[in-house]
């Protein structure tokens, strides 16, 4: 069931979103050659706690860290550890913060040092595909319109959209109804109404859209070994243009 948020709940989600977005920015600044993915996780964990929030991901369905750090051909859910970043690594950061019972969920992809032209373009296209999608996130449109716009933009730029994982509603828990695919589907999905809050998150591969899950049960990789990028924000459907809740001082990474 899709839950419409009250004005008070929306304000709390803005605060949760600001914390998550600031944590994402902190992690992004740390994406440099020589840094380990575990160091990024520890810094994000400490930051979220310092803001009197809790890391949403930690222990969620058994996940062992406070942030997902997915490198190169890892699409999502990369577990932080001893891996040390090297020049040109493509690093997706996914982070959630729970504040006063509500969740802010966001992600972005960064490059350690100087990346290849392909990597830079993949990151740019993935980010812009999100904005192509939320142009459709207005009352009267449907959830499926968002995904269709994302897919059209991504494929027009020569990349592919992951099918096995999708965006979702977000609120008092990280995953609420409805699912928000990043591609066109046969059914248009629910109609959009003011008060809906969605985590819209294109996952884009440089090669084919197919993926595989590693034996750890979490890490998702591209099936063909191609690079992948991820970009996400928590979004509020309003009476007019959508509001991005995962912003810092009104600015979106």
pLDDT for position 195 = 98
CB 71 within 8 A of CB 78: yes
Rounded to whole angstroms, the Cα distance separating 13 from 7 reads 10
Over the stretch 21-67, which tens digit does the pLDDT of each residue have?
Answer: 999 999 999 999 999 999 999 999 999 999 999 999 999 999 999 99
Does the global pTM surpass 0.95? yes
pLDDT for position 83 = 98
Task: Give the confidence band of 205 by pLDDT, cuts at 50, 70, 90.
Answer: very high
Rounded to whole angstroms, the Cα distance separating 197 from 242 reads 10
pLDDT for position 67 = 98
Rounded to whole angstroms, the Cα distance separating 97 from 126 reads 23
Can you state the percent helix, strand and coil of the chain, rounding each to 5?
Answer: 30, 30, 45
Phi and psi of 149, rounded to 5°?
Answer: -65, -40
Q: What percent of the chain has pLDDT over 90?
A: 99
Mean pLDDT of 106-130: 97
pLDDT for position 90 = 98
Over the stretch 131-178, which tens digit does the pLDDT of each residue have?
Answer: 999 999 999 999 999 999 999 999 999 999 999 999 999 999 999 999
pLDDT for position 9 = 98
Count of CA atoms in the C-beta half-sphere (13 A) of 54: 11
């Amino acid at each position: 069931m899709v839950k419409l948020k009250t004005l008070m709940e929306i304000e709390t989600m803005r605060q949760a979103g600001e914390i998550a977005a600031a944590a994402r920015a902190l992690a992004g600044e740390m994406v440099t050659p020589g840094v380990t993915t575990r160091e990024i996780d520890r810094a994000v964990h400490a930051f979220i706690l310092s803001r009197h929030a809790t890391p949403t991901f930690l222990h969620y369905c058994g996940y062992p860290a406070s942030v997902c750090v997915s490198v190169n051909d890892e699409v999502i859910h990369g577990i932080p550890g001893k891996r040390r970043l090297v020049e040109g690594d493509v690093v997706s950061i996914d982070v959630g913060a729970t504040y006063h019972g509500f969740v802010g969920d966001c992600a972005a992809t960064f490059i350690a040092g100087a990346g290849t032209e392909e990597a830079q373009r993949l990151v740019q296209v993935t980010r812009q595909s999100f904005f192509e999608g939320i142009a459709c996130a207005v009352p009267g449109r449907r959830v499926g319109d968002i995904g269709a716009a994302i897919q059209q933009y991504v494929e027009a730029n020569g990349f592919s959209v992951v099918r096995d994982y999708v965006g979702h509603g977000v609120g008092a828990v990280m995953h609420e109804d409805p699912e928000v695919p990043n591609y066109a589907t046969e059914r248009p999905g629910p109609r959009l109404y003011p008060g809906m809050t969605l985590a819209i998150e294109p996952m884009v591969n440089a090669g084919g859209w197919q993926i595989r899950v590693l034996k750890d049960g979490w890490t998702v990789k591209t099936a063909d070994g191609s690079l992948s990028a991820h970009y996400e924000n928590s979004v509020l459907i309003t009476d007019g243009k959508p509001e991005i809740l995962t912003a810092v001082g009104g600015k979106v990474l």
